[in-house]
Amino acid sequence: MKVLVTGGYGFIGSHVADRFHKEGHEVYIIDNLITGQKKNIDFKHKGYVLSVEDEKCEEIFRSNKFDAVVHMAAQVSVPSSITNPIHDTESNVLGLVNMLNLSKKYHVSKFIYASSAAVYGEKTELPIKETDACVPISPYGISKWVGESYCKKWQEMYGLQTLGFRFSNVYGPRQDARGEGGVIATFISRMIAGQPLHVHGEGNQTRDYIYVEDVADAIFRASYSPLTGIYNLSTGTELRVNEIVEALKAPQVEHVEKRPGDIERSVLDNSLIKRDLDWTPMYSIQEGLERTYRYFEQEWAKAEAAATAAVEPTALRAVSRHAYKFLIPYAENLLAFALTAWLTLSQQYSSYGAIDVKLFYITIMGNLYGNRQSILAVVLSIGLFLYQKLMDGREFISLLYDTDFFFQIAIYLFIGLVVGYSIDRKNAQIQNQEQKLEEMEGKYAFLHDLYNEVREVKEELQMRILKSGDSYGKIYSITKELESLEPEQVFHATVNVVKSIMNAPTVSIYTVNRTGTYLRLVAHSSAQELQAPKSLKVGDHDYIQAMLADGKVFVNKQLSAGAPLMCAPIYYRDQIAAVVAIDGLSFETFSLYHQNLFKVTTDLVSSALSKAFAFIEATENQRYVEGTSLLRPEAFQVILRSKQLAKEQNQTPYLLLRGKQTDQHFAEMSDRLDGMLRETDYIGLDEDHHLVVLLSNTSLEDANHVLNRFAQKGISLQVAEEEL
């Protein structure tokens, strides 16, 4: 079984993934790694670093046909949901809806959802049952309650089996010391660090604590069960926070302010899940605390060893890199200023009309580093200019009245600001383009990974298709249903076969007239909303012209209006004798496999029709009245039965007309009728040797018009009694 665990690198999700892996199932994980850590999973699996609300998740569902989805990804902190309810809603509602929609779209058998006891709110009657009213008091509880409603509605509307578990307070190894459920992890972490435990309020709040492996066991067993709906998942035991403190034997305890949104008492009734799933929690609170403490103790020892070996040098290198990156522009600026000052004050450049090196200095600094360094260069240049004036014997007070002095300063400021701003703007644009490029590279890397994954399983999928009993059944059905030697029966069988094989609601078959200018409908399926036209003029449809010209299967990849999804030519003696078209196929399930399957099917139809046409030609003298185009009674009855069957199964209309002419008029009548009929119509004799005309795709409502047309040519016909 293929199982997708969202949030699979997180606390509960990693234990769920562990359990499925130990039972021999293929595990896939989606996690954005905000709270999860890849180190929590040490077995072979396929992981995707994505948020569950990301649209790229569809590529994962499309590439992997999951049997079950366990949705654990969520924002789990009650205080965080109060301070940032928008983020809570994005993760817990939008992410869930995305997973539900993709599970429905790609036919997931079971969807298991992690809810919370927070949906109940503050309750006075304990233990809380699943039937009790939900009155959440925090945005986190609201989002979980809304999620349950979505799951229920997806099951009602789409038949997706959904099962939600309202967790009590889950604890155990790998838990992050955040959120309401992380009180035990927080206590143990502070104990190991030698810090006092912070108890919110008096510590008389009660909770129902359940060990994480008991949760994973319930989820695994539920994935095989027919259970749907909502269940409490808990131990059914109410424990005060102070009792946890006592069990941990904490040496230091401090009472702090009570948290907003904190429920005073909570314990869930687990009798329903125990009865329906035959499940019961295995770990007592003491066993769970001991196992959790050992895990955190080992992790603390590993962290300290790693910190001693690497943290200080790493931190030093990081600080050094940061300092170097920050100081180097200033150092280069000062060095450039020193060179500028030397050139400016030297005898060579001190004469009247000399080039002002300071302008070059300001421009270069602005081009190299942008506005910050150009402004610094301006300040230094102004100082150097002032120094020059003072060295020339000018009084400082007199400079304040010198317009040339202020004009020169204005030039420095203008050059510095313009160059600095331009470079900063250019750098911002470059940074924006780099960011877009990085995003595109990320998307490319993601799709490239999916591409490689698809290539890895390509051969396996092909073998599954080839070895599938269903595929053998399809090929067998084609060969059996197309065994007739009568073209009309082959046409009718083709509609049923193609409709069954391709799962397409609309299948139409057209014959090509002798001049290749029209296609005449001979058979079609019964999708009323997609009725096929009775004839198509080749010149009016580009796709028909192209198909008749190159003889290849047409695939409507552009979804052009007025064209079917696919159509393929049917050959007889290297000439296109007919065309098979399908439409109404769900495009989300349309793939190269369907195109290949359609090609194989039409090739078999071509083979069957070739045999039928060859048989007709070989037995022509036995089918027609000698010297006429009239079908003998036995040949006409075969065609009539085929038309009757097509009408019963696919509502394909036909009109049967009968005349009263005697034998001596048959030759003359057949010649006159032959020029008035289409390629898909037939004339012949019935069992009483009366003249009969069979008009394809003509309903009883068209009878008067048809009879008048024949009457104008002096041919007297009437609707056969079978049609009345």
Q: Measured at the alpha carbon of residue 206, what is the angle toward residues 150 and 168, in degrees to the nearest 5?
A: 30
State the amino acid at position 682 in one-letter form: Y
Within 545-590, strands assigned E span: 554-555, 566-572, 575-583
Please confirm, yes or no, whether 140 is among the known catalytic residues: yes
Residue entry with tokens 């036919």: 107
Burial class (CB in 10 A: 0-12, 13-18, 19+), 126: middle
Measure the CA–CA gap between 18 and 4, rounded to whole angstroms: 12
Burial 515-541 (b: 16+ CB within 10 A, else e): eeebbbbbbbbbbeeeebebebebeee
Catalytic residue chosen out of the listed positions 140, 150, 211, 510: 140
Within 609-670, strands assigned E span: 654-658
H-helix or E-strand spanning residue 164:
strand 161-167
Measure the CA–CA gap between 598 and 592, rounded to whole angstroms: 10
Spatial contact of 74 and 114, defined as CB atoms under 8 Å apart: yes
Measure the CA–CA gap between 693 and 108, rounded to whole angstroms: 54
* Listed residue (135, 138, 160) closest to 150, CA to CA: 160
Question: For the residues of 130-152, what is the DSSP string, one character each?
Answer: TTSPP---SHHHHHHHHHHHHHH
Burial class (CB in 10 A: 0-12, 13-18, 19+), 552: exposed
Residue 452 pairs with which residues in a beta bridge? Answer: none
Tokens of 676: 């008035």
Measure the CA–CA gap between 718 and 721, rounded to whole angstroms: 9
Catalytic residues, which ones?
140
